[in-house]
Structure 1
């Protein structure tokens, strides 16, 4: 084979490989969403029911949001989401300030709201548990909470029990919450794909986040309550969702360690 022909073949092979890599890059539709629960609020500290009712962050809530922001600093986020709840927006603002992000826009999706607890809103958490636990087969609140913390109590019957015994008949059902939270998730992913975004930061609320991922993973961790500012990491790729982390406090711990040095 003549040298000139060999050179042409080699060049064509290199070009084909480069085009293939370029197309592969263009076709990479991976989107990573870091969902975090808001920081501790006044209602949280008073042990009051807080769904669509709202209250501001406590000093402890602001601190944990700062830790989270510091722990997320190494990640370059392309866009930010919360619901229209003040506690979620405030948490995001604290995080972004700690990360040094400026000139940002917070996109609001009502689908990221917490579960609506109807007539129980603003009342004692002890009351809503006492009224609903019997429908779930529990005789004591201790056994109820022990199973919840252990992941033995699925989120669907919990939400539906509250909806069933709500005195105002306004509380959301599991299917209602799942529909709107997963619609919000799909909206964020579609926006990211349209805009070429890879990393998304979203602030939501504990029980609604549990509902959102309830049928996206088989991990028992999906049933465990989410502490303030802990992270649920979700990856979207090739039309499928994968839940990478549930209730992770690693980012909080990392940020706290860095800030306390």
Structure 2
């Protein structure tokens, strides 16, 4: 089984550094262009199945990457972005900061981050993404398939935190993955191995979070 983990393309809220969480924000034209370039980079991959977050920015990214391939696209709620509750829609850029100072722990101290009302902790997201992976690995009908998985920044980091078997303190690994970045994982006998990580197929697009992490 090979998994191709992809963060969705850019949205207007990404560009404005507003917290999206589970608000259903669509891709913007830049995001669609990144997805098209990623589709070109993955054009030779014979995808057999796609699993996506139900949020439209992830589903549209999947559809663009798949193009004319006749591939089932399955909604998977456990791939949804981290819920931020009362923080959703707030700006977290340095210039337009609209959050409590404690939100800095989101990037700097994931294990110490305290979610707002209606939000999830990193442990919550790690648990649901870990359960998704465990279920995926054990399905006999998926063995040997190439599976496209489209998701979100924090949810993707949760998947990788599980795959790498790292503690919550290392939740972000080497940083937030770029929009439409691709991570390839091979799974044999239920054991995952990362073959490549955070690969992009485009140039000259500034990462909205580059100065924030």
Q: Shorter chain as normaliser: what TM range?
A: 0.7 to 0.9
Aligned to 2:173: 222
Q: Do residues 122 (structure 1) and 65 (structure 2) align?
A: no
Give the RMSD, CA atoms, in angstroms: 2.4
Are the structure 2 counterparts of residues 121 and 240 from structure 1 closer, same or farther at C-alpha, using a change threshold of 3 Å?
same
Displacement of 1:175 after TM fit? 1.7
Compared CA separation, residues 129 and 95, structure 1 to 2 (3 A): farther
1:190 aligns with 2:127: no
Q: How far did residue 131 of structure 1 move?
A: 3.4
Q: Are the counterparts in 1 of residues 2 and 144 from structure 2 also a CA contact under 8 Å?
A: no
What's 2:210 paired with? none
Which structure 2 segments of 5+ residues have no match?
204-213
The partner residue of 2:19 within 49, 60, 67 is: 49
**1:231 lines up with 2:202 in the alignment:** no
The alpha-carbon deviation at position 196 of structure 1 amounts to 4.5
**Paired residues of 2:157 and 2:173 also in contact (CA < 8 A):** yes
Task: Work out whether 1:36 is the aligned partner of 2:12.
Answer: no
- For 1:129 and 1:199, how far apart are their aligned partners in 2? 42
Q: How many residues end up aligned between the 2 structures?
A: 195
User: Normalized against structure 2, the TM-score is what?
Assistant: 0.82
Match of 1:180 in 2: 128
Q: 1:243 aligns with which of 188, 194, 200?
A: 194
Greater C-alpha radius of gyration: 1
Q: 2-side partners of 1:162 and 1:122: how far apart?
A: 18
Larger proportion of helix? 1
Cα shift at 1:91: 0.9
Aligned mates of 1:235, 1:94 — CA distance in 2: 23
TM-score by length of 1: 0.68
Q: Distance in 1 between matches of 2:128 and 2:196?
A: 22
Does the CA-based 8 Å contact 1:128-1:162 persist in structure 2? no
